[in-house]
Structure 1
Amino acid sequence: MLIRTILLAATAVSLLTTVARAGDAQATPAVAVAPQYDTTHVYVAPDDVDRFVGSFIATFGGQTTKQVVADVTPTPSSTTSQLLQTPVGTVSLFGFKTPIPHPFGEERTGYLVTDMDEAVAAARAVGADVIVTPFPDPIGRDAVIQWPGGVNTQIYWHTTPPSYPAFLHVPDNRVYVSADRADAFIRSFAAFTHGTVTGDVRDAPGVEIGVPGATYRRVTLTSDFGRMRVAVTDGHLPYPYGRETTGYAVDDFAGTLAKARAAGVAILIEPIAADGGQSAMVEFPGGYVAEIHAATDKP
């Protein structure tokens, strides 16, 4: 009888959580555009900008926009800025010529939204902090959000809507959070993005985060903003795990790594078996750490 009562109580809590998540999503507007407008923010020293661009394009293909010098923060600053567009992921690249104002450089990604004011209100409604309120930039408006668990995201809106081709493979926005805040983060982020938990593995192999012989929780979220891979850990992570912000899915895994090596990219972690395929960790000139994995048919 006691066991049955506990099971019923657990089921009730699970149902209430599901209803609460659905209610959060229904109460906020959908502000996403499409995954190809999800950009990884990369900051390198000005002297490393050209080397980074050359190595990144050589590894993944694609092209770069013309480099401009602009103030992209709400307080005075100066940076080179350009967009690197590849079939498997996009980078917003910054080479600051002045000290970087806080908290810029700590955000992992930039998400295009349909309406800045609606997006900010929606973020607050699902428990996120707006740590940089909306401000104008040369081509639109921006803000920075912090989710439960301390994950920072920049959102942006363009005066003239951009038009980018869809990705060949949608990259993973790779996030590491504590067990204390994981559920709050997932609930908040899923409600804001109107996303779906498409995977929740409670005993994923620890080798995927540099801890062979252990297990960890791996959650996958999918929305119109793209894919997110959440690693729930105790923070006992060997370098470089936790430093990567994006995982790139490629058709020719071995060939991509060969291109990376030839372009001066350091292979930090040689290929391992991970999540049904192969995975490696690399570092591009300028210090940008990324994960590369073989594309699979998994969601």
Structure 2
Amino acid sequence: MKRMIFLLAAGLAVAGPVSSPTLAREPATADYSVGPQYDTTHVYVPEADFDRFVASFIATFGGTASKQGEFQVTPTKSLTKSQLALTPVGTVSVFGFKTPIPYPFGDERTGYLVTDIDRAVASAIRYGAVRRIATFPDPIGRDSVIQWPGGINMQIYWHTTKPNYAPLASVPENRIYLTPDVADKFIRSWTGFAHGRIVSDNRAAAGAEVGQPDKTIRRVAIRSGYGNMTVFVTDGQLPWPFGRDMTGYAVTDLGATLAKATAAGVETLVAPRATGTRQSAIVRFPGGYIAEIHADTAK
């Protein structure tokens, strides 16, 4: 699916794998990532809200939109409005389906460009992922949808001709919410596949970060060629809208960004508050997309 969207724009230490005797004997796999400027959050909005969402996202963060079109971006019959919103703090692939959305699309959080789709899928399976759909072709490459332990769905894709995008001003974070039952399994799987590096693992982070002021949580920050990821390990008893924020965007001035967002019709769901070394807010864009926005306050 991601590949078709790019048509519109055309344009460390390795953590151990999932514990098992078989995997322990196998050699480490290659890193198939390309770079976070080629990775996007997948945003599904009602067709009627499509243009309002794209306009509000760019008004909030700056950047440009690719040419809009209507395409079949799934291997089975469907039709969707499709467009990229490319900003300095991250890109979203926007879908406004005009037909029912075929399974398993609509559940994937992100789209990641890889250097070799077949080997990347095989590596993901080795590290504990399962395919939700067999790899399928599109006019400029191939795609697959995979699921990691904990039910984390992602799309990975490959281009026949790699696009050329400038690096981002700041790399967004994929915000993952899991319970202790599966968190370590997911972290081992993802860091093994992504050649990820755990840059912090705070097992006594303030629960206020996720709307639980009377509790502590575990917060794990991971960096890889696929960008940034933050895993929140909680009891799952989260007040709305926490847990619905798939992506966090880093900006230099949170107040100024929120002012732009408000002027563009974006609703602030959680007012700015101090969370560790950042000021953070949660917003909802037209069409229902919920995101976290933050600015670093560390001296």
When normalised by structure 2's length, the TM-score is 0.91
The aligned counterpart of 1:5 is: none
Q: Does the CA-based 8 Å contact 1:72-1:138 persist in structure 2?
A: no
Larger Rg: 1
- Return the alpha-carbon distance in structure 2 between the equivalents of residues 52 and 43 of structure 1: 10
**Structure 2 CA distance, aligned partners of 1:127 and 1:85?**
32
Cα offset, 1:112, TM superposition: 0.3
Deviation of 1:247 (Å): 0.1
Shift of 1:21: 6.6
Counterpart contact for 1:169–1:295, Cα < 8 Å: no
In 2, Cα distance between equivalents of 1:26 and 1:82: 40
SS of aligned partner of 1:59 = helix
* 1:100-156 C-alpha deviation (Å, 9 max, x unpaired): 112211110000000100101101111110111111123211101100111001001
The question of 1:126 aligning with 2:127 is answered: yes
Q: Partners of 1:138 and 1:177 in 2: how far apart?
A: 36
2:193 corresponds to: 192
- Aligned 1:10-49 pairs, distance under 5 A: 27-49=28-50
Q: Which runs of 5 or more structure 2 residues have no equivalent in the other structure?
A: 1-13
CA distance in 1, matches of 2:18, 2:102: 35
Q: What is the number of equivalent residue pairs in this alignment?
A: 282
Work out whether residues 116 and 141 of structure 1, in 8 Å CA contact, stay in contact via their aligned partners in 2: yes
Quote the Cα distance in structure 2 between the aligned partners of 1:272 and 1:119. 39
- Cα distance between partner residues in 1 of 2:222 and 2:195: 10
Report % sequence identity: 60
Structure 2 distance, partners of 1:156, 1:115, is 9
Distance in 2 (CA, whole Å) between partners of 1:26 and 1:208 is 39
Residue of structure 2 equivalent to 1:93: 94
TM-score of the aligned structures, taking structure 1 as reference length: 0.91
- Superposed CA deviations along residues 241-287 of structure 1, whole A, max 9, x for unmatched, are 11111000000111000000010000000011113110000000000
Q: Which residue of 1 aligns with 2:242?
A: 241
* Contact 1:110–1:156 under 8 Å retained in 2: yes
Three-state SS of the structure 2 residue aligned to 1:143 is strand
* RMSD, aligned CA: 1.8
Q: Which runs of 5+ in 1 are unaligned?
A: 1-16
Q: Which residue of 2 aligns with 1:223?
A: 224
Contact 1:176–1:233 (Cα < 8 Å) also in 2: yes
For residue 295 of structure 1, report the CA deviation from its aligned partner. Answer: 3.4
Q: Which aligned segments of 4 or more residues in structure 1 are displaced greater than 2 angstroms?
A: 17-26, 295-298
- Mapped to 2, the partners of 1:33 and 1:222 lie a distance apart of 14
Counterparts of 1:18 and 1:172 in 2: how far apart (Å)?
Answer: 19
CA distance in 2, matches of 1:245, 1:18: 24
